[in-house]
Amino acid sequence: MGTVGKAPLDTQQATAGRARRRARKQSMVAEVWRKLKKNTWAVGSLIILCLLLILATFAPWLTPYDYRVQDYDSVLLPPGKGHIFGTDNFGRDIFSRVVYGSRYTVLIGFGCVTIAAFLGVVFGLISAYFPKLDNIIMRSMDLIIGMPTMSLLMLLIAVMGISITNLVIALCVTTIPGFARVTRAQALTIKHQEFIEAAVAMGASDARILLKHILPNSWAPIIVQYTLGAGQVVLSAASLSFIGMGIQAPTPEWGLMVSQGRVYLRSHWHMAIIPGLAIVLLTFVLNYLGDGLRDALDPRLNK
């Protein structure tokens, strides 16, 4: 091994190498953070998202009232002192219900998208890399995309029955094709680049090429799809709850709350509008954060 192999790899050198590598790992996170920080909208979105997560986690300590307690002395109060978001037709505090509701929404939103992203990315990578499986996988994805999302969701839930698990399954099924398509398209362009050929020529295995070369180069669109997908799932879950096929009363789910407030929309707008605004805010924040992350994660956009 020429001069290199003969040089003994003493422990001192090895320690130095390890330290350098650790420093690099940290600097990569720092790099992404440094770029993300410059994007005002993304930072704002991240802060709001963190606040929402804190609210969801610490709901029992942050809410002034029990979200279940009905108080018939204060029914349909407008937002103001005491009840900052007002009360609903049973006299329940809307602020407390919105805060508790964030638990369901966040859990369903991120839970579904995470499962769907994992499966979708796996499908996408496989169909891009193994042409024999491409048709089978992508045509089944087309089958799902071919149907209107809402009808398919309703169909699935009607068949499986109404429950939170089935809601999550149905939402996953409709979210997977988006990930599969995006991943496949990206992987196909990456697959034909010269550095993949170079990696093969260096003796890398299929799995290694997929996971170490193709996947890391496909992150950008997948992350965007993730945040967009999360927004969409939040909306779909709310819509299903709104039409009564999602989460059932008296659970304080945002979509369900909008649905219940709908009856009082003319006289007591706050009952529907406030949980509606919460849905809008979460969706909006997820989209902006996704855009920011995409830019920050791309080492080529180094400004």
CB of 224 to another protein, least distance (A): 16
Of 124, 174, 136, 134, residue with least CA distance to 154: 174
Cβ closest to another protein, residue 16 vs residue 143: 16
Q: Closest CB to another protein among 132 and 266?
A: 132
- Least distance in angstroms from the C-beta of 298 to another protein: 8
Contacts of 202 (CB under 8 A, 6+ apart): none
Identity of the residue, 5 or 161, whose beta carbon is nearer to another protein in the bound complex: 5
Output the six-digit token pair for 97: 């219900």
Q: In terms of C-beta density within 10 A (0-12 exposed, 13-18 middle, 19 or more buried), how is residue 161 classed?
A: exposed
Tell me whether residue 161 or residue 203 sits nearer to another protein (CB atom): 203
**Secondary structure (H, E, C), 163-227:** CHHHHHHHHHHHHHHHHHHHHHHHHHHHHCCHHHHHHHHCCCCHHHHHHHHHHHHHHHHHHHHHH
Question: Using an 8 Å Cβ cutoff, are 109 and 236 in contact?
Answer: no
| Residue 194 Cβ vs another protein, minimum distance, rounded to whole Å | 4
CA–CA separation, 28 and 62 (whole Å): 36
Secondary structure (3-state) at 207: helix
The nearer residue to another protein, 18 or 68, going by C-beta atoms, is 18
φ/ψ of 72, rounded to 5, equals: -75, -5
Q: Which residue has the tokens 């024999």?
A: 132
267 vs 302, beta carbon nearer another protein: 302
By beta-carbon proximity to another protein, the closer residue of 17 and 82 is 17
Q: Residues in the site for another protein, rule: CB under 8 A?
A: 1-5, 7, 9, 13-18, 20-21, 23-24, 27, 193-195, 197-205, 208, 212-213, 216-217, 219, 299-300, 302
Question: Are the C-beta atoms of 102 and 278 separated by less than 8 Å?
Answer: yes
Q: Whole-angstrom Cα distance, residue 292 to residue 129?
A: 29
Q: Least Å distance between CB 140 and another protein? A: 25
CB of 286 to another protein, least distance (A): 24
Min dist CB 43 to another protein, Å, is: 24
Q: Which of 88, 86, 90, 84 is nearest to 71 (CA)?
A: 90
Smallest separation (angstroms) from another protein to the CB of 134: 14
Phi, psi of 87 (to 5 degrees): -130, 160
